[in-house]
Amino acid sequence: MKTAALLCAAAFSFFTSIAGAQETYPSQPITIVVPFSAGGPTDTVTRLIAEPMGRELGQQIVISNVAGAGGTLASGQVAKAKPDGYTLLMHHIGMSTAPTLYRNLDFDPQVDFATLGLVTNVPMTLIARKDFEPSTLQELVTFVKANKDSVVYANAGIGAASHLCGMLFMNAIDTALTTVPYKGTGPAMTDILSGDVDLMCDQSTNTTGQIKGGEVKVYAVTTPERLGNLPDVPTTTEAGLPGFQVGVWHGLYAPKGTDPAIVAKVSKALQTALKDPKVIERFAELGTTPVAEDQATPEAHKAYLAEQIALWKPIIEKAGVFAD
């Protein structure tokens, strides 16, 4: 009897402290883990929304870049983090390609995370170092086929969007190139600018400034329509590679087991951040837009993740690209 009473008291205090934690959440800074290097497009998107999200939540949001293995290193770490709402993950389309690309993934995107909401869908741009010989996409295809042993393509590792886009490009022109993996396309861009590597396909959030400044060559945008902020850049369809299209969606995650009240609070803060005029303005300058409010929800994000995993599985299997 006495033991039962003690157990009841312990359970009561456990549940009241959990309830208290939800009510007072967040009572300390929140970390959003970015699975690529600082200065790249995923980092840029995360930093842009972190400030208004933090304002809404009344806490500082700290960004931690945990780069490696095409984003799977960080995902694996966050999957195993304490589900208390203080460690979150911003990832992109790589979350949906990793289960097919990686044979030994130590997490399941659909099981080990609570989805918090979609963030944005970013166009990709096929770019090259400024003095790379070809000037149009058609010239690029001819040049690359003729020089396939010397052209070097930069990406952010297997599972990165730049890897996926490169894979689709190489498939479209039936030519494999030497690739150099970086920990993010931030550092890869540095090497494109210095001329150390030739080609890259990356989000407009990382390339628009350099394209506008004439610091890199651009061949096409991988979207059905031209971009308002880069009106002179043709689409891949207009430039002659109609099957080659991809957009990079981003989503915010918490480890599975995170309390639904915390999930709802963070998701609401994300929705508010995506309506912030400064976020909308800066996203537009970088060639993208925030998702609609009904997409920045745990449910819409969960459904989209499942859809995207199913979409990419056969494409990756056909390309036969796998990693351990």
From candidates 40, 99, 109, 290, binder to ligand ASP by CB under 6 A: 40
Ramachandran area for residue 71 (φ above 0: left; ψ -120 to 50: alpha; else beta): left
State yes or no: residue 208 binds ligand ASP (CB under 6 A): no
Q: Are 98 and 163 in contact (CB under 8 A)?
A: no
For ligand ASP, the nearest residue by Cβ is: 40
State yes or no: residue 290 binds ligand ASP (CB under 6 A): no
Distant-in-sequence, close-in-space partners of 257: CB < 8 Å, separation ≥ 6: 83, 114
Sign of CA dihedral 60, 116, 163, 282: negative
Greatest alpha-carbon pair distance for the chain in Å reads: 84
From candidates 78, 161, 220, 254, binder to ligand ASP by CB under 6 A: 161
Question: Which region among 41-49, 145-153, 257-265, 302-310 touches ligand ASP (by CB under 6 A)?
Answer: 41-49
Q: Are 317 and 139 in contact (CB under 8 A)?
A: no
State which of positions 53-72 bind ligand ASP (CB under 6 A).
Answer: none
State which of positions 89-108 bind ligand ASP (CB under 6 A).
Answer: 92, 94
- Token pair of 36 as six digits: 């690529």
Q: Which is nearer to ligand ASP, 72 or 203 (CB)?
A: 203
State yes or no: residue 247 binds ligand ASP (CB under 6 A): no
From candidates 36, 102, 219, 249, binder to ligand ASP by CB under 6 A: 36
From candidates 57, 95, 114, 156, binder to ligand ASP by CB under 6 A: 156
CA distance 80 to 283: 31
Q: Which is nearer to ligand ASP, 117 or 186 (CB)?
A: 186
Q: Are 43 and 186 in contact (CB under 8 A)?
A: yes
- Token pair of 182 as six digits: 């970086």
Minimum distance, C-beta of residue 300 to ligand ASP, in the bound complex (Å)? 22
Q: Are 185 and 155 in contact (CB under 8 A)?
A: yes
Question: Which region among 13-21, 101-109, 156-164, 292-300 touches ligand ASP (by CB under 6 A)?
Answer: 156-164
State yes or no: residue 113 binds ligand ASP (CB under 6 A): no
Q: Are 136 and 108 in contact (CB under 8 A)?
A: no
State yes or no: residue 203 binds ligand ASP (CB under 6 A): yes
State yes or no: residue 123 binds ligand ASP (CB under 6 A): no
Q: Are 115 and 257 in contact (CB under 8 A)?
A: no
- Token pair of 213 as six digits: 């400044």
- Interface residues with ligand ASP (CB under 6 A)? 36-37, 40-43, 92, 94, 155-156, 160-162, 184-186, 202-203, 206
